[in-house]
Amino acid sequence: MTQDQEIICERRGAAGYVLLNRPKALNALSHGMVRELARALDAWENDPAVTRIVVTASGEKAFCAGGDIRALHDLGKAGRQDEMLAFWREEYILNARIQSYPKPFLSLIDGIVMGGGVGISLHGRYRVAGERYLFAMPEVSIGFFPDVGATYALPRLPDAAGVYLALTGDRVGQGDALALGLVTHAVPSARMAELAEALTGSEPVDAILAAFVQPVAPGKLFGEREAIAAIFGAPTLAEVLARLEARAAAGEAFATKALATIRAKSPTSVAIAFEQMRRGATLDFAGAMALEFRVVSRIAYDHDFYEGVRAVVIDKDQAPVWQPASIEAVDPASVEAHFTPLGASELVLGGQA
């Protein structure tokens, strides 16, 4: 596919209109797509004819299921970590660009939104979900970590829900996403195309959205919000696990499932993700992205990332052999090392010293 086919960026009426166009790959982000979207945002920022950005996706399954992890894995296995890190650097700069973009930025999300797809949607001013919306940051399943701005966004969700999502990779539907603030509006899937067309007009964005929104009830996570807050609000990962184990021993189904889920993930990734959530709560967005680039610059050389992608994406045997094999065996110093400064290689965003 050519870059133009993977993503289409064009002006439609008053909108800078973006179509993610890799439906067979669940619209996974390639390096070319990141660059093309960044180029379009630069052009549209100073174009007076463009008053809002509208991001949509081809196909009904996914808005964007993440970055092209297989391609990144293959680069790393070939010793080309510099190319992997070039992708992540540009992706993180794009995430920050969207977060601070001066014009209304709308994502119309009706399907799976994970990883890189979260990065190009969650930080915009408007996130509109259809019934097929399905959010997750499941990176700990592949020896990675919740990046693309999750360091900033997840710790700010209510009731420690972001910590829960980072450590378990659990999926969130339309109703829970609205309740948590992951999305700003809920719209019927059947009206998404109509909404996209309406947004190309000159009427104010809020007025257009108001004509399409529908009330939705929260989903399964809402019912567990008190347990999530009590468990995942713990100050240390060891205490989270202790609280889960105590509740599981008492027969609590939610805790039993969450504990088993976390124990199956990369122990190193779980430890990194918890520390990431702890630090992210006090960082501004630029600081969060700089932290993520420090972590990813180390993970690009870690065993568990390649083993996780092998087990989940390539061989699909779902039987990763993590090193180390348990959270208790993870060396705190090795976790801390992922967060240390990079010197001349630091990610520096506009406005940072």
Q: What are the residues whose beta carbons fall under 8 Å from the beta carbon of 330, sequence distance 6 or more?
A: 267, 268, 271, 324
Which residue in this structure is represented by tokens 């972590």? 295
Task: Reply yes or no on whether 67 is catalytic.
Answer: yes
**Within a 10 A sphere around the Cβ of 178, how many other Cβ atoms?**
23
165 within 8 A of 176, measured Cβ to Cβ: no
292 noted as active-site residue: no
Between CA 314 and CA 138 the distance in angstroms is 16
Any idea what DSSP says for residue 327? Answer: G
351: its two tokens: 């406005």
Q: How far is CA 156 from the centre of its chain?
A: 14
Residue type, position 34, single letter: V
Among candidate residues 68, 139, 170, 302, the one labeled active-site is 139
Q: What are the C-alpha distances in Å from 100 to residues 95, 96, 104, 114, 301?
A: 9, 6, 10, 21, 31
Q: Which two tokens stand for residue 283?
A: 């960082």
With residues binned 3-state (H G I as helix, E B as strand, rest as coil), the percentages for the chain, rounded to 5, are 55, 10, 35
Closest CA to 166 of 183, 148, 181, 151: 151
Catalytic residue among 6, 68, 110, 147: 147
| Residue type at position 13 | G
User: Looking at 66, 67, 119, 175, which residue is catalytic?
Assistant: 67
Structure tokens at 241: 């696990």
Cβ distance 305 to 143 under 8 Å? yes
Q: Which of 116, 124, 169, 175 is catalytic?
A: 116
Supply the DSSP symbol for 159. G
Active site amino acids: 67, 116, 139, 147
